[in-house]
Amino acid sequence: MPETAKGPENMNVTMYWRRLRRSESAAFWLFLAPWLAGFLGLTLGPMLFSLFAAFTRWNGVGTPHWIGLQNFRVMFTSDLDFWPSLGHTFLYAGARVALGTVLALALAAMVNTRIVGRTFFRTVFFLPAIVTGVPLFVVWSWMLDPSGGVLNYLLGKVGIQGPEWLASSTWAIPALVLMSLTATGGAMIVFLSGLQDIPLELRDAALVDGAGWWQRFRRITVPLLSPVILFNVIMGLIGSLQVFAEPYVMTGGGPEHTTYFLGLYLYNEAFWYSNVGYASALAWVQFLVVVVLTVVVLRFSRRHVHHLGS
């Protein structure tokens, strides 16, 4: 059979689509280029250089001297500040994640009910999560002041002698955890979204079967909300293990190095003592700790996280 010749119109259409694909590809790379340049220059590049610096002795301005694993050897065997700072970081992160998750879930469950003014309460509970950073930490420092702070003033009104919150090695970490609970509004919104995705038919069926509030919460709400719980736990864990600004502004690592968390420790090593190589090693250990704990939580969640329809 004779082959059908491609006419001029078919050739024009083919060339048009080729030019269009090339122009779309060029536009794609053109729009991607600013982000790609920023990622390579401000994220990936510094990360790779810090990995190199972790194996060197470097003050940040001179020539790095390769020392192999010496920074890590010193860190794990003879550094008197590393293990306490790591332990205090774990203590803070554990308390913050546990209490923050429970509080966020409780608030979400409350504003998910048909109470009067629930829109107002949702706004009030979420609003503190917007105010973050140094202004929030300064305000909390005033509130936790042992002599004129509002918290000790309120405790005094009910006959309780308030402690020296940020100046006490016993109360410093609980004070920082207490302050962190004001930022649970974001997790509350995520929980609220998860609660509204639970089918009402399941709750109604359990109610008809005579299940009480606690049984419905434990047997229906928590299992179906477990993916959301996992998400909030992981996000809270990642943020808590990298805590820096709170102790830097409010305690400076004191008292008695109680709040000398790992993030503050590596900052001081880099910018106060000009030990950038050692600080880079600390940063990579912190990164590996976050990754390992995240993987452990994800592995643990395989048995305890349930998905609707699974």
Domain-located, residue 64: no
Same domain, 45 and 83: no
Q: What is the CATH number of the domain that holds 258?
A: 1.10.3720.10
Give the separation between CA 82 and CA 240, rounded to whole angstroms: 17
- The number of domains in the chain is 2
Residue 74 has pLDDT above 90, yes or no: yes
Task: State the DSSP code for 63.
Answer: -
Q: Look at residue 2 and tell me if it is in a domain.
A: no
Give residue-wise pLDDT tens across range 6-34. Answer: 555 566 666 656 666 777 777 878 888 89
Query: Do 27 and 174 belong to one domain?
Result: no
Q: Residue 111: CB partners within 8 Å, gap ≥ 6?
A: 118, 121, 122, 125, 188, 192
- At residue 9, the pLDDT reads 57
Q: Is the pLDDT of residue 139 over 80?
A: yes
With bands split at pLDDT 50, 70 and 90, how would you rate the model's confidence at 308?
A: low
Whether 38 and 141 share a structural domain: no
How much of the chain, in percent, has pLDDT values that exceed 70?
Answer: 92
Do the domain assignments include residue 288? yes
Which amino acid is present at 48?
L
16 found inside a domain: yes
What does the pLDDT average to over 73-100?
A: 96
Q: What tens digit of pLDDT does each residue of 141-168 get?
A: 999 999 889 999 999 999 999 999 999 9
Residues in the chain: 310
pLDDT at residue 20 in the model: 60
Average pLDDT over residues 101-113: 91
The Cα–Cα gap between 307 and 297 comes to: 17
Give me the pLDDT at residue 16, please.
58
101 plus 209 within the same structural domain:
yes
Parallel, antiparallel, or unpaired for β 65-66 and 56-57? antiparallel
- Give the pLDDT confidence score for residue 35 in this predicted structure: 93
Quick check: is 177 in a domain?
yes
Number of H helices, E strands in the chain: 15, 2
Residue 12, pLDDT score: 64
> Which pairs from 9-16 meet CB under 8 Å and 24+ separation?
none
Q: Specify the pLDDT at position 215.
A: 87
User: Do 149 and 288 reside in the same domain of the chain?
Assistant: yes
- Domain containing 229 equals 71-304
138 and 46 in a common domain: no
Residue 26, CB half-sphere, CA atoms under 13 Å: how many?
A: 6
Same domain, 154 and 255: yes
Greater confidence (13 vs 105) lies with 105
CA distance 169 to 255: 5
Mean pLDDT calculated for residue range 160-178: 94
* Residue labelled with tokens 């004779």: 2
pLDDT of residue 1: 45
**Looking at the structure, do residues 267 and 176 belong to the same domain, yes or no?**
yes
Establish if 284 belongs to a structural domain: yes
In a domain, 3, yes or no: no
Measuring CA to CA, which residue among 70, 14, 295 is closest to residue 22? 14
Q: Domain for residue 61, yes or no?
A: no
pLDDT band per the 50, 70, 90 thresholds, residue 198? confident
Decide if pLDDT at 185 tops 50: yes
Whether the CA torsion 230, 233, 234, 235 is positive or negative: it is positive
